[in-house]
Structure 1
Amino acid sequence: MKVDVEMGGGSPKLLERKQAVYRNLDERYEIHGETYKGQQYSHIYFTRLHYMRNLLYSLVPKWKPNLPVNTVLGLEEEKECIIVGTIYKHMKLKPSILDEYSKERSKVPLAKPHNFVHPDDHLILEDESGRVKLAGSLLDPSAFVTGIVVAVHGKETSEGKFFVLDMLEAGLPPQIDQPPSSTEDKYVVFVSGLSIGSSTFNPLQFQLLVDHITGHLGDENEQTFASQIVHFIIAGNSVQILQGLLNGQTIAPRDQSTLTEPIKELDILLNQLAAAMPVDIMPGPSDPANFSLPQQPLNRCLFPGASAYNTFISCTNPHQFELDDIQFLGTSGQNIDDLFKYSEAKNKLEFMERTLRWRHLVPTAPNTLGCYPFTDKDPFLVESCPHVYFVGNQDKYETTLLQGSDNQSVRLICIPKFCETGVAVMLNLRNLECHSLSFSTGLNV
């Protein structure tokens, strides 16, 4: 792959685009031939509890070496012990289907808060034997969601509650050692929320990004910099199709172009990118893909132009891959957006950190976030700590370097919606430092 650089007063110089060894690790999120046969979501919870309980049992001897481990059914009043189970969060404001029905029947719609946390929320811990309400001030219900597996130290009270004295989370999973630091810079570009077809999409803004990273804009230094970009990641919500056209009715001929135009325009842009560098595209909630997680790759037939290149890769959401032995894990943002609805944190980066410490990418699935009813696995368990963890379609760009107790180091990245912010994110594979790229087409008068 070449980037043309025009040298002033001389002949054109060809810069070789740098390469990175890429390995796709999406197999665990792919659904091959499975069919829905009425299976229940309890299988996922059983699988999750079994895996996490074995993990927590291995940590308990170092945490509380002299305490017995009981089941919920085996609790004895006022006897200190440890129990391991799945948290269920009872929420006063959690939406129900009856509320949705009343909204349709009522002339005045019910107010819909952006966050459903309430001071009266409380936590329940359950295993196969039973469930018990957690008491005490140690656990703040606003920081937890349904679906997390934890170990708690405490004792049963005369009221039948479990008074919590201490709690143990699984913590960051083990991490493969980061490869020795390279001497050359290689960059990965992240973008999300293009929303082609929406009223906020600015085609010129994204074309500026495409031209910049493919080496068609800027002076010699900027074009040299562009040649160091080895991969481009699109993290969901690439197109936005009017919901009125997706009501299950036959589409009128005059509306068919409205439906297909955003995808055609996306293909044109992807064509330019794939001609210059490897491109990974992930589906998001507004894209033409299945709604439930894990979302399957966007059909390559949607992109006849870009699909002609072997550099174009349609991926799952979540998406897991390696670049030069650097481990990447990311989503299009549904997992973090759902945590934002049902719990509280100071920022989105804290939600991301919690999912790693809980060792589960989507803890609220299937309770409040749709997912496929797997019967023999929970693909969202985080068994190995990534070096880079990213989420798309956030309100603003944020990043931090998370350090674990066993020398884990994770670069957390919130990728903003490009159609609203004009911001893309660049990550240097050499040192995992990242910065934002901002594009604006406004005129200052």
Structure 2
Amino acid sequence: MHATAILLAAGLGTRMKSRHPKAAHKLAGRPMLRHLIESCGVVFDQIVVVVGPDMQELEAIASPHAVVVQQERLGTAHAALQAAGLFGDGDVAVLYADNPLITPDTLRRLVETRRDGATRLALLAMRPADPGRYGRVVQQDGEVERIVEWADASEAERAIPLCNAGVLCAAAADFEPWLRAVRNDNARGEYYLTDVVALAAASGGIVRAVEASEAELRGINSRAELAEGEAAIQQRLRRAAMDAGATLVAPETVFLSADTVLAPDVVVQPHVVFGPGVSVGAGSEIRAFSHLEGCIVGEGAQIGPYARLRPGTHVGDAAHVGNFVELKAADLGAGAKANHLSYIGDASIGAGSNIGAGTITCNYDGVFKHRTEIGARAFIGSNSILVAPVRIGDGALTAAGSVITNDVEADALALGRARQVNKPGQASMLREKLARETKVRDQKKHGETG
């Protein structure tokens, strides 16, 4: 049976105090709306996103899924009704973009409950530690009678521990008439989606609640709640990484992105940050205080400590990237090493090459970026400056401290530094001169203050 997910994302999120829509704020490097889209994509055949006017940022995030615009913000039932023309013939679930942590398993349970042969409407509910201002789920004999918003609830209703998570699922043929029957005679004068529950119950249909954890169903409406959501998703991602065979030495100090891929036997030491778009091959070790984003690390590689891999970087199998080394749009070949204090940008480094401490690829001339190409088994001496565009051939060697501005052929030795001159006795003479100058300076200072 066909199923459609309607994602409500028209809220301004004023409590975020941001120029960005609430659903555009990120968790684990991914917009909240995108998290929900990814989960819904596992369960539903079609996804429709409802946004407010002038929300092009959210429309871009929603792509390629259908988007409809709620021109007037008259409430959540009104928002869902804007997508009625796209409901289709099967089941419809309405979700909120500020509930981004719902898992596919929970959504699957929701749909299965709706299709159990007796349930006309299914909803998600939770029992939060602090129910606060959540709407309460009023039940009788295991069936849901209605949901009452906190602002309209009595003291007895506010004492109910089961809270509405905002997600409803029903057949499209039922959902649209219920939405059109919703009225706005409440404390805020809005058309509440939650009123659909009472309408469903009043029509003789059975309404059931599907419970899930607060960590999964929490709403995110403020910066503080965004931080709480980040903590929840990080805990989930860390557990998944370890269950898949990675070792996180101090999991609470490692931060992952939603798309981070860690192969089995990867070891991640404390205080490592993975930005979006990182894949690490089996047996590699990411050492402490490293930052990786938009890069691929091969098998058996060693990264860090204190390394930075920027977007476009590819580290080959068994390669080494050491402390205070930064790579950007660079290919480091298999077994190659850049172990100390280097910047390698817009470069290709062949297999087995060694990059000496303090090496820099000068890749930017103020207008354009240029590439440096280093062949296999080359040796780049410490403090070499490679001025791109430049090519270093296979097996070539650059002397320490060289500035390389021209191509170096294979197996050649390149020296690009001033000739050294030794002057016997000059060191002691210089020290004596400096001592005399220091004495005169001290005497003058004493005379001025004496």
Shared fold by TM > 0.5? no
TM-score where L is the length of structure 2: 0.24
TM-score where L is the length of structure 1: 0.24
User: Which one has more relative contact order, counting CA pairs under 8 Å at least 6 apart?
Assistant: 1
